[in-house]
Amino acid sequence: MQCTRPALRQLTKTNTNLTIRAFLQSPARSGDLTSLRPFSSTVTSRAKIPTPPEAMETIKSFVANTIGENLGGVLGDTHKVVAPEHQFSLDQVPDLSGKVAVVTGGSEGIGYGCVHTLLKHNISKLIVLSVDKDIVEEAKRSLTEDLGADAVARTTWMQLDLSDWPAVKNAAEQIKDSNDRIDILINQAGRGIMTFQLAENGVDRHMAVNHMGHTVLTSHLLPLLVKTGQSGSTVRIVNMASNAIQGAPSDVKFESLDELNTDLGPNGQYGRSKLAAVLYSRYLARHLTSKYSKILVNATHPGIVETRQSTQHIHEAFPLAGYGVSTLLNPFKKDQFEGCVSAMYAATATNESGQYICPPAIPEEGTKQSQDAALGEQLMKLTREVVAEKTKSQSTDKGCPFKDF
């Protein structure tokens, strides 16, 4: 792929949310954004035209939130630039003694930041699901150095490929058999901005891992999550999304496996899978939180974080243009601890459900697609159908965890 300027601009836009176009297409935090476009043909005579001070405050708020949500590195602690009511730090994570947590992809990157934070704040038991044994060993060594052997002793490590749904089901059963509660479930593992591939089960790998694998895991763990909530404890489920939902094609319908297996390009594949994370969170909030008020489900955006996805994997899809993300943006990326702040807020502090939370603790509306309840219902209908078809003998015939709410 040639390193063309348009390609680099598109790649950067999808990952940083810093373009004017993204600004104009998103809802204003203090009103309709058409009020900020007085010369636009879309503005009617009834549109409220803000005074210059009002417009300036809206722009300042937008810029502050955009920086706080996405950037870090040489810019310092950008979380401090957002409004006080949306600030949150890892120091504010409460004591987690007596609680049990499950984290997917917890051996590196943002997931490692979550694992480190949970252990630091005295989580009693932590189950980490990860696909790479070598990286797990590195994580164990690092945790031992930082937090001591006791922290590692409170951690159970399980190898798991989330695209292997029967294996996901088996892992969930092992977790249920060895624990009497789950207070926190962080569905963080995922395939990044990479080229189209099919998983072994014949499903687009982005959707098979990022969405459907986590749906299978969550569904099989649901009885234990419900039990924990019914005991009076607040249960929090976190699904890792991304502002790359803006890159999801506008005509996504989630109507068939053929649609899922259509190559949309790296940004489209990734954006669609992250759109699914937000839709799934809001789906569970509608159907699960409404029935079990102690179970909260939210999606989060981490910001631009220095991980293998942003430094190495990006080049699988964009061998040359990927340097815009891996190198040019590198000084401005959050580290793994800054990148896990929104997830830790959703996992330990929020009392809301069905939100899309950006760093540090900013609830955003997201794209119109991500707010489309009907699209979320269709996503889950297709998810149930595909999983049932692909796992009939190994899982579905033994009790499919999915149900129509």
Phi-psi region of 120 (alpha: psi -120 to 50; beta: other; left: phi over 0): alpha
Q: Is residue 222 part of a domain?
A: yes
Q: What is the pLDDT of residue 405?
A: 57
CB count in 10 Å sphere of residue 293: 11
Domain of residue 142 covers 86-398
Structure tokens at 15: 């990952």
> How far is residue 259's CA from residue 249's CA, in Å, rounded to a whole number?
12
CATH of the domain at 184: 3.40.50.720
Selection from 215, 128, 127 nearest residue 163 by Cα: 215
Which pairs with CB-CB distance under 8 Å and at least 24 residues apart come from 379-382?
379/211, 379/254, 379/276, 379/279, 379/280, 379/283, 380/215, 380/280, 380/283, 381/254, 382/254, 382/255, 382/256, 382/257, 382/260
Residue 31 has pLDDT above 70, yes or no: no
Q: Is residue 29 part of a domain?
A: no
User: What is the tens place of the pLDDT at every residue in 269-311?
Assistant: 999 999 999 999 999 999 999 999 999 999 999 999 999 989 9
Grade residue 67 by pLDDT with cuts at 50, 70 and 90: very high
Residue 387 has pLDDT above 90, yes or no: yes
Number of domains in the chain: 1
> How far is residue 262's CA from residue 165's CA, in Å, rounded to a whole number?
21
Q: Is residue 65 part of a domain?
A: no
Residues assigned a catalytic role: 270, 274
Q: Is residue 66 part of a domain?
A: no
Structure tokens at 227: 């039990």
Could you give the percent of the chain with pLDDT greater than 90? 79
Q: Is residue 134 part of a domain?
A: yes
> Which amino acid belongs to residue 207?
M
Q: What is the pLDDT of residue 161?
A: 97
Residue 135 has pLDDT above 80, yes or no: yes
> How far is residue 189's CA from residue 104's CA, in Å, rounded to a whole number?
5
Q: What is the pLDDT of residue 246?
A: 96
- Residue with token string 């920086």: 67
- DSSP secondary structure letters along 215-268: HHHHHHHHHHHHHHHHTT--EEEEEE--GGGGGS-TT-----HHHHTS---HHH
Q: Is residue 301 part of a domain?
A: yes
Q: Is residue 37 part of a domain?
A: no
Q: Is residue 21 part of a domain?
A: no
Judged by average pLDDT, the poorest of 40-49, 184-193, 325-334, 372-381 is 40-49
Q: What is the pLDDT of residue 18?
A: 36
> How far is residue 63's CA from residue 52's CA, in Å, rounded to a whole number?
16
